[in-house]
Chains A and B, each alone.
Chain A
Amino acid sequence: MNTWFKSGSPWIWLSAGGVSISLISVLGLLWLIASKGLSYFWPSELYQFDMIDEQGNNSVVIGEIYDREQIPVSQLAHLDLKLAKDQEVLERLLVKTGNRELVSLDFRWILSTNITKTTTPKDLAVVERRTNGNFYGFIDSLVLDGQPVDIAKLPELLERVEQFQAEIEDLQKVDIGAINYQLESLRLQSKSLTLKGELTVDKQQEIDTETQALKDEYQTLEQQLMALRDKISRDHLIMRAMDGQLVTINFEHILQVNFNNQLGFFDKFTLFLSQIAAFIIDDPREANTEGGVFPAIFGTVLMVLLMTVIVSPFGVVAAIYLHEYAGKNALTRLLRIAVINLAGVPSIVYGVFGLGFFVYMVGGSLDQLFYPEALPSPTFGTPGVLWSAITLAILTLPVVIVSTEEGLSRIPSAMRHGSLALGATKAETLWRIILPIASPAIMTGIILAIARAAGEVAPLMLVGVVKMAPNLPLDGNFPFLHLDRKFMHLGFHIYDVGFQSPNVEAARPLVYATALLLVTIIVALNMTAVSIRNKLRERYKMLEH
Chain B
Amino acid sequence: MASVALSSNTRKIKNSLAKWLITLGGISVLFTLVLIFMYLLYVIKPIFESVSIEPEMSIALSADSKVLSTGVDELKEVAFQITESGKIEFFSLLKNNNLPAGDLILSEQLIADDDRLVLVEDAGHDKKLLVTEHGQVFVVSPQFTAQYNNDSRQIIPSISYPIVDSPISVDEQEQSFIQLAFAMNEEKAVFVGFTQDKRLIKTSLISDDEFGEEDGEFETIYQEIDYLAHHIDDIEISPDLTMVFVRNESQVSVFSLDDDDVVEEKAQINADFSNRPDAKLTAMALLSGGSSVLLGDNQGQISQWFEVATEQGRQFQQIRTFDSGDEAIASINTEQFRKSFYTLTATGNMGVFFTTSEAELWQGNIAKQHPTAFAISPRSDAIAVAMYDEQKSVTSLELFKVHNEHPEVTWQALWQEVWYEGYPEPDYIWQSTSGSDDFEAKFSLVPISFGTIKAALYAMLFAVPIALTAAIYTAYFMTPVLRKKVKPTIELMEALPTVILGFLAGLWLAPIMEKYLPAIFLLFIFLPLATILTAFVWHNLSRDLKEKIPETLAPVILIPVLIAAAYLAFTFSPLFETAFFGGDMRQYITNDLGINFDQRNALVVGIAMGFAVIPTIFSMAEDAIFSVPSHLTSGSLALGATQWQTLVKVVLLTASPGIFSAVMMGLGRAVGETMIVLMATGNTPILDWSIFQGMRTLAANIAVEMPESEVGSSHYRILFLAAFVLFVFTFIFNTMAEFVRQRLREKYSSM
Contacts and interface: CB of A to CB of B under 8 A. Distances in A.
B472 interface: yes
Given A18-B467, A342-B29, A353-B36, A430 B499 contact: no
A10 interface: yes
Given A12-B477, A522-B497, A458 B699 contact: yes
Nearest to A515: B500
Nearest to B735: A337
Contact of A318 (B28, B528, B578, B703): B28
A498 B506 contact: yes
B447 interface: no
B189 interface: no
A26 B492 contact: yes
Interface-centre pick from A13, A401, A523, A526 (highest chain B CB count, 10 A): A13
B265 to A, nearest CB: 52
A325 B563 contact: no
B726 interface: yes
A156 to B, nearest CB: 42
A15 B472 contact: yes
A345 B22 contact: no
A8 B642 contact: yes
Interface in B490-519: 490, 492-493, 495-500, 502-504, 506-508
A352 B562 contact: no
Nearest to B508: A32
Contacts of A16: 473, 477, 531, 554-555, 558
A401 B29 CA distance: 10
Interface string B676-695: 00110000000000000000
A51 interface: no
Interface residues of B, number: 110
Contacts of B733: 344
A341 B731 contact: yes
Contacts of B492: 26, 523, 526
A344 B738 CA distance: 11
Interface in B614-648: 614, 618, 642-645, 647-648
Interface string A8-26: 1111111111111111111
Contact of B562 (A12, A17, A324, A492): A17
Contacts of B726: 345-346, 348-349
A416 to B, nearest CB: 14
A264 B16 CA distance: 71
B15 A32 contact: no
B29 A335 contact: yes
B32 A320 contact: no
**Chain A contact residues: helix, strand, loop or mixed:** helix
Given A360-B711, A457-B675, A523-B492, A322 B26 contact: yes
A455 interface: yes
B730 A346 contact: yes
B499 A21 contact: no
Contacts of B734: 340-341, 343-345
A17 B702 contact: no
Given A14-B469, A326-B26, A458-B674, A519 B535 contact: no
Interface in B235-284: none
B748 interface: no
A293 interface: no
B504 A29 contact: yes
Interface stretch (B314-322, B385-393, B395-403, B665-673): B665-673
B497 A13 contact: no
Interface stretch (A242-250, A268-276, A421-429, A436-444): A421-429
Interface string B31-60: 011011001100100000000000000000
Contacts of A344: 665, 668-669, 730-731, 733-734
Given A351-B702, A523-B492, 12 more contacts: A7-B644, A22-B490, A317-B21, A317-B26, A318-B29, A336-B738, A341-B735, A344-B731, A345-B726, A347-B674, A348-B699, A515-B500
Listed from nearest, the 10 A-B pairs whose CB atoms lie closest are A8-B644, A346-B672, A321-B26, A455-B497, A18-B469, A317-B25, A13-B535, A427-B18, A16-B554, A458-B674
Interface of B: 11-12, 14-15, 17-19, 21-23, 25-30, 32-33, 35-36, 39-40, 43, 465-474, 477-478, 486, 488-490, 492-493, 495-500, 502-504, 506-508, 527-528, 531-532, 534-536, 538-539, 551, 554-556, 558-559, 562-563, 574, 578, 583, 611, 614, 618, 642-645, 647-648, 665, 668-669, 671-675, 678-679, 699, 702-703, 706-707, 711, 719-720, 723, 726-727, 730-731, 733-735, 737-738
